[in-house]
Each structure stands twice: as structure tokens, then as C-alpha cells.
Amino acid sequence: MTPAAVLFDCDGVVVDSEGPTFDLLIEDLAAHGLVLTRHQLETDYIGGTIETVATRARAAGARLPQDWVARFYDRMYAMLAAGTPLIPGIVAVLDALDAAGVPYAMGSNGTLEKMSITLGQHGLLSRFRATLSGQALGRPKPAPDLYLAAAAACGADPAACVVIEDSATGARAALAAGIPCLGFAPHGPDAPAARGMAALGVPLFADMAGLPARLGL
């Protein structure tokens, strides 16, 4: 059955920003005394906010200055503004939703500025009913508030919506809000994020090209 609305995460679902951001984090944390593999970063640090990364990194021994979060955001924004590709196939998904008259919104743990940079360079901001930040709301994922607000922005009953996520943290937020969730897992079912979502019972898919059919469009 076609959902009343589709609620998207941003990074790794709509914009292909996670790989470069992970690489930047690994480089920066190593410079401050915490050497992590990509697998360690994805398993133990990803899914929250840069602030939560800082808290966990300090607990693990990173010598981060007090202004590290602000400085990292500045570096990340500059990198993303230089060019952030879209997830292949996502524009076709949005086109299919528009053609079917299904509204869609975005709920991200990222900042509003980050979404403005990544979505704005592709002219996508105006296509979403709302682009909501868990940080701006003061209730980032895994709290359910963000996706409940996104459903409300679409005028839809949360239980009749579908969330598209790529992390266990985001999937927990959707499930806590009573919203069915599909897990985007382009790197396969054994990737840390995919395993985390599967452990929550979230169905996985690997290619955006197949999403419209999954949504009954």
C-alpha cells in the first residue's frame, strides 16, 4: 500500500556525504590522538551528532580542544560546499513521489546549515515539505520527535508513513515514533549500519532504483 508520506534521512540516503565526512573524521581524530578504522568509526560513533562523536572520542582518549566541534563543522561545511553528490537514483524516487501525489519531508540529525549546503547545491530544498534538524529541535535521533514532526509537516498519520534510513540510530527513532522503516544498505547486509538495522527487524534494500516499487508507486 502506498504510504501517506515518505520521511527521509539526509546523509547517506539523499546526499552522498557520509564517505567524505567519515574520512575527514578519521583524519581529524587521528591528529588528536585517537586512531580509528573505518569499521570502528561506523560501529561506535556514527548515527548521532558531531557533539556525540566528540563526547565518545574524548572518553576513548582523544585530546580534543574545547572548540573542536565548531572547528570540525567549519571544515566539514567547506568540504561539502565544494561538491556533494546525490545518492544515485534519489531524484527518480522524488519524481515518482511527486507523480503519485505523495508528500515527503526530511528529518536529519545534521544541522540546518548542513542541509542547506548539501541539498541547496542541487536545488532540492524546495521539493521537501520540510527539512527538519534534530539538533534544531533539541531532540536528535534516536528520540522519535524528529520523525513525528516530519509526519506532521506532511499532514500525515505517523503510522501511515514510511521512513527511509541508513543507520540503526535513525531506525530506532522511526520505530519509537510508530513509523515503519526501510533501511538503505548500499554497501551490503554485512556493513555495520546494515547489521544494526537488520537487528531491529528493519527490511533492507540496496538500490534506490527499486524503492518506488517497494513504496507501491
pLDDT in tens, 45-55: 777 788 888 99
Task: Dump pLDDT digits (tens) for 146-198.
Answer: 999 999 999 999 999 999 999 999 999 999 999 999 999 999 999 999 999 99
Whether 182 maps to a domain, the answer reads yes
In this structure, the answer to whether residues 71 and 167 fall within a common structural domain is no
Per-residue burial over 190-216, b = 16 or more CB atoms within 10 Å of its CB, e = otherwise:
ebbbbebbbeeebebbeebeebbeebe
In this structure, the answer to whether residues 49 and 27 fall within a common structural domain is yes
We report the CATH number of the domain holding residue 57 as 1.10.150
Query: Residue 173's closest CA among 108, 113, 124, 80?
Result: 108
- List, in sequence order, every residue forming a beta bridge with 183; answer none if it has no partner: 165, 204
Q: Domains in the chain: how many in total?
A: 2
The C-alpha atoms of residue 31 and residue 43 are separated, in whole angstroms, by 20
CB 7 within 8 A of CB 107: yes
Query: Which pTM does this prediction carry?
Result: 0.91
Model confidence at 120: pLDDT above 90: yes
CB 115 within 8 A of CB 131: yes
SS3 36: coil
The C-alpha atoms of residue 181 and residue 198 are separated, in whole angstroms, by 11
Q: Which domain holds residue 199?
A: 6-16+84-214
In this structure, the answer to whether residues 201 and 100 fall within a common structural domain is yes
Whether 101 maps to a domain, the answer reads yes
The DSSP H or E segment spanning 195 is: helix 192-199
Mean pLDDT for 201-213 is: 97
